[in-house]
Amino acid sequence: MQNGQLRERKREATRNALQEAAVRLFSEKGFAATSVDEIAAAADVSRSTFFRYFGSKEAVVFSAPDEAGERFLACIEARPAEEGPLRAVEEAFVEISRDAESQRRFAINREGLLASEPGLKAREAESTIMWTGRIAEALAHRDGESSPQTRHRVAAAICIALSRELGEEWLESGEDIERLIRGRFEILRQLARH
């Protein structure tokens, strides 16, 4: 393995350790009662290492969904131009779900935390609004439009709702995420025909 790949794997392992330690401590002690120093110690790194990866405690909670969102946008824009928007969105969902199983424990703990912390719930609502807008912009760009039209905003809202519904079912059922995605998009296609 090359040095660059080894460094990247170590960075990813450190980032994952910090996320898991943070969410575990937040669940045990509460978000407000957990310090950055405690998170760093639980992940066996220094405080300065924590801040190399995350700008704040809140950033730990929202970094994984934000990274997935960035990958989702890149996937949408990379889909073939002749492909319809529904298929592009479906394939983008499948692509970003490929590493979902490795994030399962973190996602379960994160959902519990969001449900119990009003401040984080408010931040989640802000994040939802922001990502809805960014998805609408990506869909508009894909269509050659300079700004989102009504169809792009509606499609983005459907993406967000579908993402939430898929995530909840996946966490509860443990079913294969790609199978769930394909099933939901088939339902969307059936609804569009009626």
CA 80 to chain centre: 23
Q: How far apart are CA 32 and CA 9, in angstroms?
A: 31
Amino acid sitting at position 59? A
- pLDDT of amino acid 192: 81
- pLDDT of amino acid 55: 92
Render 21-67 in DSSP notation, one character per residue.
HHHHHHHHH-TTT--HHHHHHHTT--HHHHHHH-SSHHHHHHHHHHH
Please tell me what DSSP assigns to residue 151: H
Question: Digits of tens for pLDDT over the chain (194 positions)?
Answer: 577 788 888 888 899 899 889 988 988 888 889 999 999 999 999 999 999 999 999 999 888 888 889 999 999 989 888 888 888 899 999 999 888 877 787 788 888 888 888 888 888 999 999 999 999 999 999 888 999 999 999 999 999 999 989 988 988 888 889 999 999 999 988 988 87
- pLDDT of amino acid 23: 85
Please tell me what DSSP assigns to residue 117: -
